[in-house]
Amino acid sequence: MFRKILIANRGEIALRVICACKELGIETVAVYSEADRYSLHVRFADEAVCIGPPRSADSYLNVASIISAAEITGAEAIHPGYGFLAESAYFAEVCQASNLTFIGPRPEAMRMMGDKNQARRTMAELGLPVIPGSEVIRSEAMALEEAERAGYPVMVKAAAGGGGRGMRIVRTPSELPHAIQAAQNEAAASFGTPDVYLEKYIESPRHIEFQVMGDQHGKVLHFGERECTIQRRHQKLVEESPSTQLDQQARERVGAQVVQALQKIGYTNAGTVEFLMDENRNLYFLEMNTRIQVEHAVTEMVTGVDLVKMQIHIAAGSHLDFEGKTIALSGHAIECRICAENPGTFAPSAGKVTAFHPPGGTGVRVDTAAYAESVIPPYYDSLIAKLVVCGNDRAEAITRMARALEMFIIEGISTSIPVHQKVMADPDFRAGKFDTHFLRRFIKNSDDII
């Protein structure tokens, strides 16, 4: 087992990794920007190193500074968390070259799945169903031909994309050239490459993903699915497990397909295979995230497995010692991502938190790095806290979440809590009747926001 791990991240995920390391008896090194000097991950780590100014490019994305921090503190491994460098194959390779263990998948798998178009092609070859689509678009003529073949509406998507960036819906041929240009510009700015491809657009989809874990000895397990359909700007706001749309037979069938595909490519450590479900409950491979997910706590609540500790064990060479190919789920869990955002427009709301009281009680978990008098800086993601609850069934989980939201006090900034409360109270949500456009009913000028 490692003696010391550096966490190349900030906020609640950095604190989450520190908690796992403390339970494993591993020393931790926090890195921080000047804006995060008084953050909790800095306080609770055994050591902390400032790696630059507030801008991500000068700090949390600065590979040289992070590697230097690991070397001067004697860290043996680096946990990237999620976001920032978590899915950078280049960063993983630099770690290897610097004799540091990267706690995540191998760089080859990250490159394979990081290019969304290549990932679709690979998964199709490995037997997973994929949405009809194109290769990388090389000309307007090719785009028009491929869109006609797939059938309108289509989605223009960044090949190296994620988080809703570089995406445009196109309903007619006349809209296609402008949409491609706009998506290419956004993709180049966000991901360093303008490559985009086309995909058949499913009008009323649900977003369902499978949590997987693979060791270095050829074993891959899945830990059931998460329903991540409640979104804004293609970013998740509410997640739950299990999904109301999959029965045990479907769960085992799709999970077995996922496990088999990832065993063939020798996948290691944590990953999430994401699907879109159409109105007929057909699942289509969407993409794979080669890291721990924001919403991993949902799966932890229904499986009783600490996925972050498992990541560390796997990186140290341990075997997955579970019987079979899947893990049993117990009860129902829901997560609300509490963000520093205006609940009417989702505009960011940075500033000082003047009062902070997280809810508690049976079946309630709060992952956060916020506290009273802490500052939510304007430079990073707006996530403040992950509020996760677990109940014996979905109805109890929804009731528990509604209670916890009511008791969650955050003052000084705007938050998304009012939106979450509307979702929990909505009859259709409670009945399991929703798709990715669900939030439109709560938001004015929703076409500009959702």
In the predicted model, is pLDDT for residue 448 greater than 70? Answer: no
Nearest-angstrom CA–CA distance, 32 and 448: 34
Enter the tokens of residue 108.
């080859």
Q: Residue 194, SS3?
A: coil
The two tokens of residue 210 are 């499978």
The pLDDT, as a whole number, for residue 450 is 53
Residue with tokens 């610097």: 98
Q: What is the pLDDT of residue 404?
A: 98
User: Looking only at Cα atoms, what is the longest distance across the chain?
Assistant: 60
- Contact present, 378 and 394 (Cβ < 8 Å): no
- Confidence band for 161, pLDDT divided at 50, 70 and 90: confident
Q: Are 384 and 370 in contact (CB under 8 A)?
A: yes
pLDDT value at 447 more than 70: no
162 pLDDT above the threshold of 80: no
Q: How high is the pLDDT of residue 192?
A: 86
Q: How far is CA 86 from CA 29, 141, 267, 289, 372, in A?
A: 17, 36, 16, 10, 29
Question: What pLDDT is recorded for position 444?
Answer: 61
Which is it for the CA torsion 185, 190, 191, 192, positive or negative?
A: positive
3-class secondary-structure state, position 343 = coil
The domain ranges of the chain are 4-103, 132-200, 206-448
Measured distance CA(332)–CA(299) in Å, rounded: 9
Distances (CA, A) of 280 to 48, 285, 428: 51, 15, 18
Instruction: Answer with the residue of higher pLDDT: 325 or 363.
Output: 363
Chain center to CA of 333: 17
* Residues labelled catalytic: 291
DSSP 75-143: -SEEE--SSTTTT-HHHHHHHHHTT-EESSS-HHHHHHHHSHHHHHHHHHHTT--B--EEEE--SHHHH
DSSP, residue by residue, 381-410: --EEEEEEEEESSHHHHHHHHHHHHHT-EE
pTM attached to this predicted model:
0.91
Contact partners, residue 197, CB within 8 Å, separation at least 6? 116, 117, 133, 134, 135, 136, 137, 156, 157, 159
Crossing angle of helices 307-315 and 11-24, rounded to 10°: 70
Is the domain spanning 206-448 CATH 3.40.640.10? The answer is no
Burial 323-345 (b: 16+ CB within 10 A, else e): eebbbebebbbbbbbbbbbbbee
Q: What is the pLDDT of residues 74-119, one digit of tens each?
A: 999 999 999 999 999 999 999 999 999 999 999 999 999 988 888 9
State the pLDDT confidence band at 449, using cuts at 50, 70 and 90.
Answer: low
Position 322 confidence tier, pLDDT thresholds 50, 70, 90: confident
Sheet holding 206-214, edge to edge: 283-289, 269-277, 206-214, 220-232, 235-241, 332-339, 383-391, 364-368
Predicted confidence band of residue 446 (pLDDT cuts 50, 70, 90): low
The angle that helices 89-97 and 63-73 make with each other, rounded to 10 degrees, is 30
DSSP string for residues in 51-93:
EESSSGGGTTT-HHHHHHHHHHHT-SEEE--SSTTTT-HHHHH
Sign of CA dihedral 121, 124, 128, 130: positive
Task: Look at residue 325 in the predicted model and tell me its pLDDT.
Answer: 64
C-alpha distances (whole Å) from 216 to each of 40, 105, 167 are 33, 10, 35
Domain covering 132-200 in this structure, CATH number: 3.30.1490.20
Sign, CA dihedral 294-295-296-301, equals positive
The mean pLDDT of 250-267, rounded to a whole number, is 96
Res 215: pLDDT? 97
For the chain, give the percent of residues with pLDDT over 70: 97
Reduced DSSP (H G I as helix, E B as strand, rest coil) percent helix, strand, coil of the chain, to 5:
35, 25, 35
d(CA 403, CA 420): 11
Backbone phi, psi, residue 229, to 5°: -80, -30
pLDDT in tens, 14-52: 999 999 999 999 999 999 999 999 999 999 999 999 999
**What is the mean predicted confidence (pLDDT) over 163-179?**
91
Question: Which of 70-74, 192-196, 197-201 is the most confident on average?
Answer: 70-74
Question: What pLDDT was estimated at residue 126?
Answer: 94
Local confidence band at 441 (pLDDT 50, 70, 90 cut-offs): confident
**Residues 122, 119: Cα–Cα separation, whole Å:** 5
Instruction: Look at domain 4-103 and name its CATH class.
Output: alpha beta
CA distance 282 to 152: 19
- Alpha-carbon dihedral angle through residues 160, 111, 18, 398, given to the nearest 10 degrees: 50
| Strand-pair partners of 419 | none
pLDDT band at 190 (very low <50, low <70, confident <90, very high): confident
